[in-house]
């Protein structure tokens, strides 16, 4: 049997990031147009949705020991970085964007370490 001791923490990091992204999307959508005078949140929502999907898949692939895990970890890190960069633009005004950016940075760092 394959040793999968790392498989418990990395998928959790990915799933935590996906959850933060989903919460960010929901909060942004609930704000509707009320924030349009400050920031356009469309790109934030789009990147969070992509990031949540990629993180979920990355965590699942790693948990099952997929031969494609390392490739997805690199993609996941790239998507997380893009999402974090966008969410950070709104972090001063929205706690959910700040939390999402922080989760994305953690996930990106861990995915990069695991992919190497």
Q: Indicate the pTM of the whole model.
A: 0.88
31: which 2 tokens?
């704000």
Residues 6+ apart with CB under 8 A from 50: 79, 83
Q: Which pLDDT belongs to residue 31?
A: 85
Please name each of the domains of the chain with its CATH number: 5-115 (1.20.1270.360)
Confidence at residue 6, expressed as pLDDT on a 0 to 100 scale = 45
Give the tens place of pLDDT for each residue, 35-58.
555 568 999 999 999 999 999 999
Q: What does the pLDDT read at residue 36?
A: 54
Please tell me the predicted confidence (pLDDT) of residue 8. Answer: 52
- CA dist 12 and 15 (Å) reads 5
Which residue positions in the chain have pLDDT lower than 50? 1-7
Mean pLDDT estimate for the chain = 90
């Amino acid at each position: 049997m394959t040793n999968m001791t790392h498989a418990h923490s990395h998928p959790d990091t990915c799933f935590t990031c996906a959850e933060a992204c989903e919460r960010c999307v929901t909060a942004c959508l609930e704000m509707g147009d009320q924030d349009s005078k400050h920031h356009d949140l469309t790109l934030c929502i789009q990147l969070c949705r992509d990031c949540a999907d990629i993180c979920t898949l990355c965590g699942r692939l790693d948990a099952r020991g997929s031969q494609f895990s390392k490739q997805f970890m690199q993609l996941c890190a790239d998507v997380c970085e893009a999402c974090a960069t966008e969410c950070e633009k709104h972090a001063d005004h929205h706690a959910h964007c700040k939390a999402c950016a922080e989760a994305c940075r953690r996930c990106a760092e861990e995915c990069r370490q695991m992919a190497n």
